[in-house]
Structure 1
Amino acid sequence: MIDHIDLAILRILRENARVQWKQIGEQIHMTGAAVANRIQRLEELGVIEGYTVKVNEARIGNGMCVFVTVMMKDYKHTKFQEFIKGLEQIKEAHRVSGEPCFLLKVHVADHHELSILLDKILEFGHYKINISIGQVI
């Protein structure tokens, strides 16, 4: 069972996954050891699946964020999923209900790199794109 203390720990970890257990404990009025036990339990329950680094894509040369909706030509969803797993430009991929089959979040350096990627996607289906003007939240 997840309680309000677990949710508070998760909120803190979302802001900074490198925060020390003692610092979390100070914020929620628990010992570092108690926080460690809670975090271990959340990991064992599969609530915490892992830890990651948030990268500023623009600062590493991938300043163009594009959302691509893909409508499959055939029912080759498995092959398409294998294809996109190997592409570092694709930061998120969701299989969705409705008109498109997939929604992709893509970061590329420029229009040329985007064009190359879109040409590869055409082998699987049609696409529509939306270029991000700026992230709100």
Structure 2
Amino acid sequence: MSNQYGIDDIDIQILNGLIADASQSHKVIGEHVHLTGQAVGARVRKLQDLGIIEGTTVRWDPNKIGLTVHAFVTVFMKSSTAHQAFQTFAKQNSNVLEIHRVSGEGCYWMRVRVGSQLELNDFLDELLTFGNYKLSLSIGQVK
């Protein structure tokens, strides 16, 4: 059965296989969905063309390369004119892993990784250009 995006149950199974382990070969995935590796490759390209698969990623341990401080920052903009400059700053800053414009408390939520408290302090000083913030530090990842 096909859905509104033109994908079927086999496409969903392929997508789930890639989500579980994107390093799997098309041949291995094909064995699970009863297709050839070439047919799986064609379906993966279709999923990419449709924008369902936006890219691939690597799971890694930031602590092992010195990014030991993991912070969550709620940003409160000081003016309505600061949003564009702030978004540019956040997108260009390699310490910002994620940024979300939110409703509720604050204007943005950011997830940040840095190598030290000093680096975090420098980052927060830059952030004050755009507004105030509330900081929470991760003490351990559960999932």
When the two structures are aligned, how many residues end up with a matched partner?
137
Within 5 Å, give how 1:23-62 maps onto structure 2.
23-62=28-67
- Write the distance in 2 (CA, Å) between the matches of 1:106 and 1:38: 35
- Secondary structure, counterpart of 1:30 in structure 2: coil
Report the RMSD for the aligned CA atoms in angstroms: 1.2
TM-score, structure 2 normalization: 0.89
CA deviation after TM superposition for structure 1 residue 100, in Å: 0.9
Displaced runs of 4 or more, over 3 A = none
> Does residue 69 of structure 1 match 2:89?
no
TM-score, structure 1 normalization: 0.93
CA deviation after TM superposition for structure 1 residue 98, in Å: 1.7
- Write the distance in 1 (CA, Å) between the matches of 2:70 and 2:102: 20
* Counterpart code for 2:72: F
> Does residue 5 of structure 1 match 2:14?
no
Residue number among 94, 103, 113 corresponding to 2:109 in the alignment:
103
Which blocks of at least 5 consecutive residues in structure 1 are unaligned? none
CA deviation after TM superposition for structure 1 residue 18, in Å: 2.2
Q: Which 10-residue stretch deviates more, 93-102 or 9-18?
A: 9-18
Name 1:133's counterpart in structure 2.
139
Residue number among 68, 76, 86 corresponding to 2:92 in the alignment:
86
CA deviation after TM superposition for structure 1 residue 122, in Å: 0.7
- Write the distance in 2 (CA, Å) between the matches of 1:5 and 1:135: 33
- Write the distance in 1 (CA, Å) between the matches of 2:137 and 2:61: 17
Matched residues, percent identical?
46
